[in-house]
A and B are shown apart, each in its own frame.
Chain A
Amino acid sequence: MSRTAKILSSLFILFWVLTAFAPSLIAPADPLAINPSQAFQAPSSAHIFGTDESGRDVFTRVIHGAGDSLYIGLAATALGMGLALVLGTAAALAPRWLDEVILRVLEALYSVPSLLMALLIIAFTGPGVGPAIVAVGLSTAPGYARLVRSQIRTLKNSEMLEAATVLGRGTWLKVRNHLVPNALQPLLALVTLGIGQAVIWAAALSFLGLGTPPPAPEWGAMLSAGRTYLHLAWWLSFFPGLAIVVVAAGSTLIGRALGGKVKAV
């Protein structure tokens, strides 16, 4: 990663962390305050992203929505990656028959499209933020797990590990000193790429009315609410979606700079 890329990436992450934890620093107004006399104002210097049907400031809501949207995306990625690490490492190190079993299970999980699997899980659990995290996490896990498995397998057969075995190192020592550090760098890139996708999936669930319930300023929910007024007030849907695109594109760029390849996860 070049120096400029590092600085830009850090600034990008810093901005979103700040937005997520202290949205009032950037947008001091109340995201839920309604003001019917100010409804459907087009973007102007007073309301740079315009106002919605209840006169709420869209910019304030987009900024305050970052916390929820990013939280769901991060939590889902952590869940999916955690599961994938366990399954993928187990499959790679296990005896052949167990590897075969895990692979079949992963294939079964992978065969149901992500959003469909998320919907399936929500059909069991009912809608909500928690179920959305579980749904997105579980539906991204099989993709990660396959990559973790192939990563660990490549490392397992490397000369470095062979040397460690010849030197009589124990399994735990090999996992800690060689497998984990060497697998971490590519996985970090993958996670960065994955967060953007998870934010999109989570927003998609809210968009379909299955994630964060209104009037909370979550991006997908805002976009969905704005859709009713698409012909009247384009800014209601445009700006929350733009926020999602910026986060997703940013995470893709950083992930690629960290050495991640675009893969189907």
Chain B
Amino acid sequence: MKLLAWLGRKVGGALVVLWLVATAIFIGVRLIPGDPAEAIMGGPGSQASAEALANARSEYGLDLPIISQYFLFLAKLIRLDFGTSYSFKDPVLQIMGEVLPPTINLALLALVVAWLLALLFALLAMRANKFGRLLGNAVEIVAAAVPHFWLGAVLIMLFSSMLGWLPAVANGTPAGLVLPVLTLALPLAGFLTQLMRDSLNTAMGSQFALAARARGESRLTVFRRHGLRHAALPALGLTGWAFSSLLSGAVVVEAIFARPGLGRSLLSAVLARDIPMVTGIALFSALVYIVVMALTEAIERLIDPAGAES
């Protein structure tokens, strides 16, 4: 019963957020100076014919009063009808079905790699001496400050141009995936390590860690049974943000490695001012964020020793 209520609250909250995003987009489209039909057709530069403009007007109901237009827009969204992309000439939903899997794969893989790297670094930092800690600190800060587009270029230079180990373009093979995933994962790993190290230090220096040691548990066992949970929690709370930053990064990474996906399609949709496509992708990424947030919350409840009853 508690679970159902929680689920109901989540779904309700998600619907409100999606409705707000959709409304903001609706207002945004109407705020574009000039004829909205022209904007839908790709702006004044598109030189759309009078007939095409009339078609766009009737398809979007632009001849109706603004309130009816708004409800028509929402009604279409509820039926998952995002309209037809102007640059790809296919239904938006169909295009998203094609470009989504490669991007989600990339982002998930990067998330996993970033977590593994962060755990490894946090563990190493625990054992390091003063110099090692200083070095680790510097690496984390630089890693978190590196823009994806530069890191991608540097990795291509190193591993593709100079060493020739890995392909510079994503060619569908596992080897072609290594550089894009690393490009996305390294900056995130920098952020996560900073968080994990802080909380890990607090946990390992706490009373319960001392008590566990006094009971005769080894340092490693204490780390595994107590430290890890506390190290993971704050970083886990950031997963929603991390995933959304990975989607942002995917736009850049897909451009650098010539990889098909959501980001590439969004970029070309923006350049073509393809409003239906952009609307679909924005709503979709909002949905992904909400789902990831709900999942993280559920996982947090599972592993937080203190959060079970709250």
A172 close to chain B: CB less than 8 A: no
1/0 contact string of B7-50 vs chain A (CB within 8 Å): 00000010011001100110011011000000100010000000
Chain A residue nearest in CB terms to B283: A112
A to B CB contacts below 8 Å, 9 in the list: A120-B270, A123-B273, A126-B273, A200-B147, A203-B147, A207-B149, A223-B150, A237-B150, A252-B141
Q: Which of A200, A241, A264 contacts B241 (CB 8 A)?
A: A264
B271 within 8 A of A: yes
Contact A115 to B17, CB < 8 A, known contacts A207-B149, A238-B157, A244-B150: no
Is residue B146 contacting chain A, with contact meaning CB distance below 8 A? yes
Known: A122-B270, A245-B146, A252-B145. A111 touches B153 (CB 8 A): no
Interface check B222, CB cutoff 8 A: no
Q: Is the CB of B270 within 8 A of A108?
A: no
Q: Is A116's CB within 8 Å of the partner chain B?
A: yes
Q: Are A111 and B145 in contact (CB under 8 A)?
A: no
Query: With A116-B251, A120-B282 known to touch, is A238 a contact of B289 (CB < 8 Å)?
Result: no
B134 at interface, CB cutoff 8 A: no
Q: A114-B248, A210-B270 are in contact. Are A262 and B153 (CB under 8 A)?
A: no
A249 at interface by CB-CB < 8 Å: yes
Complex contact B245–A114 (CB within 8 A): yes
A227 in contact (CB, < 8 A): yes
Indicate whether A196 reaches chain B with its CB closer than 8 angstroms.
Answer: yes
* Interface membership of B236, Cβ < 8 A: no
- The residue on A at minimum CB distance from B160 is A231
Write out, one digit per residue, whether chain A residues 180-193 have a CB within 8 A of any chain B CB (1) or not (0): 00000000000000
Contact A113 B20 (CB under 8 A): no
Q: Is A128 an interface residue (CB 8 A)?
A: no
A-chain residues with CB within 8 Å of residue B142 when the two chains form the complex: 245, 249
Q: What is the chain A residue whose CB lies nearest that of B195? A: A262
The CA of A59 and the CA of B277, in the complex, are separated in Å by 40
Give, as a whole number of angstroms, the nearest-CB distance from A120 to chain B: 5
Asked whether, in the complex, the Cβ of B248 is within 8 Å of the Cβ of A115, the reply is yes
- The 7 tightest CB contacts between A and B, nearest first, are A241-B150, A115-B248, A108-B20, A248-B145, A264-B241, A113-B244, A249-B145
Q: A104 contacts B147, CB within 8 Å?
A: no
Beta-carbon nearest neighbor of B14 in chain A:
A111
CA distance A55 to B269 in the complex (A): 34
Contact A105 B20 (CB under 8 A): yes
Find A126's partner among B43, B160, B247 (CB 8 Å cutoff).
B43
**Chain B at the A interface: mostly helix, strand, loop or mixed?**
helix
Distance to closest chain B CB from A19 (angstroms): 18
Are A108 and B153 touching (Cβ within 8 A)? no
In the bound complex, how far is the Cα of B267 from the Cα of A111, in angstroms?
A: 19
B255 cross-chain contacts in A, Cβ below 8 A: 207-208
Tell me if A230 is interfacial: C-beta within 8 Å of chain B. Answer: yes
A116 contacts across to B, CB distance below 8 A: 247-248, 251, 266, 281-282, 285
Could you give, for residues 204-232 of chain A, a 1 whenever the CB lies within 8 Å of some chain B CB and a 0 otherwise? 10011110000000001001101100110
Find out whether the CB atom of B153 lies under 8 angstroms from the CB atom of A238. Answer: yes
- How many chain A residues sit at the interface, stated as a range, is 35 or more
Query: Chain A residues near B256 (CB, 8 Å)?
Result: 227
Q: Are A196 and B145 closer than 8 Å at their CB atoms?
A: yes
Determine the distance from Cα of A105 to Cα of B28 in the docked complex, in whole angstroms.
15
Flag if A223 contacts B153 (CB, 8 Å).
Answer: yes
Closest residue of B by beta carbon distance from A227: B153
Which A residues between 110 and 144 are near B, CB-CB below 8 angstroms?
Answer: 110-117, 119-126
Whether A164 sits at the interface, judged by CB under 8 Å, is: no
Bound CA–CA A79/B282 (angstroms):
22
Q: Which of B21, B148, B267 contacts A108 (CB 8 A)?
A: B21
Question: When chains A and B are docked, how far (Å) is the Cα of A111 from the Cα of B150?
Answer: 26
- Is B181 an interface residue when CB atoms closer than 8 A count as contact? no
In contact, A238 and B154 (Cβ under 8 angstroms):
yes
User: Smallest CB–CB gap between B223 and chain A, Å?
Assistant: 23
Give A154 to B32 CA distance when docked, in angstroms.
Answer: 40
**Contact of B21 with A113 in the complex, beta carbons under 8 Å:** no
On whether the beta carbons of B17 and A104 are closer than 8 Å, the reply is yes
The distance in angstroms between the C-alpha atoms of A113 and B266, with both chains bound, is 13
Q: For B21, list chain A residues within 8 Å (CB).
A: 108, 111-112
Contact B270 A204 (CB under 8 A): no
Rounded to whole Å, the gap between the CB of B127 and the closest CB of chain A is: 22
With A113-B247, A249-B145 given, name 15 new contacts (CB 8 A): A107-B17, A108-B286, A112-B21, A112-B244, A114-B245, A115-B248, A119-B278, A120-B25, A120-B282, A121-B28, A208-B251, A209-B271, A210-B271, A223-B153, A238-B157
Most buried by A among B13, B145, B160, B242: B145
Q: A113-B245, A116-B282, A196-B145 are in contact. Are A241 and B271 (CB under 8 A)?
A: no
CB proximity of A204 to chain B, nearest CB, Å = 6
Give the distance in Å from the alpha carbon of A126 to the alpha carbon of B273 in the complex: 8
With contacts A104-B20, A113-B244 taken as known, whether A245 is within 8 angstroms of B251 at the C-beta atoms is no
Q: Find chain B residues with CB under 8 A from A155 CB.
A: none
* Residue pair A204, B147 in contact (C-beta under 8 Å): yes
